[in-house]
Amino acid sequence: MIQTATVNYHVHKPERQAFHLDADGIKGNLISPELRTVNVPVADARTKRGSVSFPKDSLAFANVPTSTNITPEDNSWREIYDQELTTLLQEKLRVKDVIIFDHTIREDDPDAVRLPARNVHSDYSEDGARQRLIDILGDEHAHEWSKGHYAFINVWRPLENPINSAPLGFVRPSSLDEHDWVLLDLIYPDRRGQIMGLVENQNHEWIYQSKMTPDEIAIFNIYDNRGLPSIAHSALDMIEDVNINTIRKSIESRTLIRY
């Protein structure tokens, strides 16, 4: 089944563009570059047309319940959840090493600290990924890892309720043109990074998985030094059932892995 969703694409400009996060020292304050709002058709991964595989599409969906209660109020769940993710990635992707370096809980509420990301993007440019490798491991270990096969992989999971609005959507990498990407600076109060934004192209094939539950996850590739494409993604402005009023909550875990 094909749904219609609204997304916010980036635009090409002659000057360098940037996001300012926690701008002016205010947590959650975000200043964005110019975005273009577009309606796009979206295929459901639960159907044949929307089916995906990680080696081909840099994306996989799986049913993997967690044994812990993930809440933003405390961190008691992190040790258990990190071990679950480590085991998951080792088994699903046959990786050797897993480093989990960030968890971001998002809530689609105006008063939330972290809202769903509503811009079509991928988390790192090539230079940004290399710098993040150094930030996490230090120069010596980063040099060692760079000799082998490493990647940044994100794992996304709904929290509390099935997703009824603002699901996470993805652009099939084979439908992209290399000129669709635009380099963006990511400016925090204490550091800088680089991400990639995506500009509109009518050839883009959008995919999501309908009504994902807290027992389900999306695993997706952000950067791979051996060439597996980075996958563009964004929250989709769409509603599954107008009679349901639950707020979209999710956790996105960022990992560095070595094959």
The residue assigned the tokens 């916010």 is 8
Residue 73 has pLDDT above 90, yes or no: no
Domain range summary for the chain, segments of one domain joined by +: 2-258
Residue 141 to residue 157: CA distance in whole angstroms: 30
Look at residue 141 in the predicted model and tell me its pLDDT: 98
Look at residue 200 in the predicted model and tell me its pLDDT: 98
Residue 95 to residue 109: CA distance in whole angstroms: 36
Per the CB < 8 A criterion, the answer to whether 126 and 226 are in contact is no
pLDDT tier at 46, thresholds 50, 70, 90: very high
pLDDT tier at 25, thresholds 50, 70, 90: confident
Q: What b/e readout covers 161-198, taking b as 16+ CB neighbours within 10 angstroms?
A: ebbbbbbbbbbbbebbeeebbbebbbeeeeeebbbbbb
pLDDT tier at 2, thresholds 50, 70, 90: confident
Between 19 and 235, the higher pLDDT residue: 235
Look at residue 62 in the predicted model and tell me its pLDDT: 97
- pLDDT above 70 covers what percent of the chain? 100
Look at residue 191 in the predicted model and tell me its pLDDT: 81
Least confident range from 16-20, 88-92, 234-238: namely 16-20
Look at residue 21 in the predicted model and tell me its pLDDT: 82
pLDDT tier at 24, thresholds 50, 70, 90: confident
What's the token pair of residue 16? 């360098």
Look at residue 113 in the predicted model and tell me its pLDDT: 85
Query: Amino acid identity of 236?
Result: L
Q: What is the pLDDT of residues 75-93, one digit of tens each?
A: 999 999 999 999 999 999 9
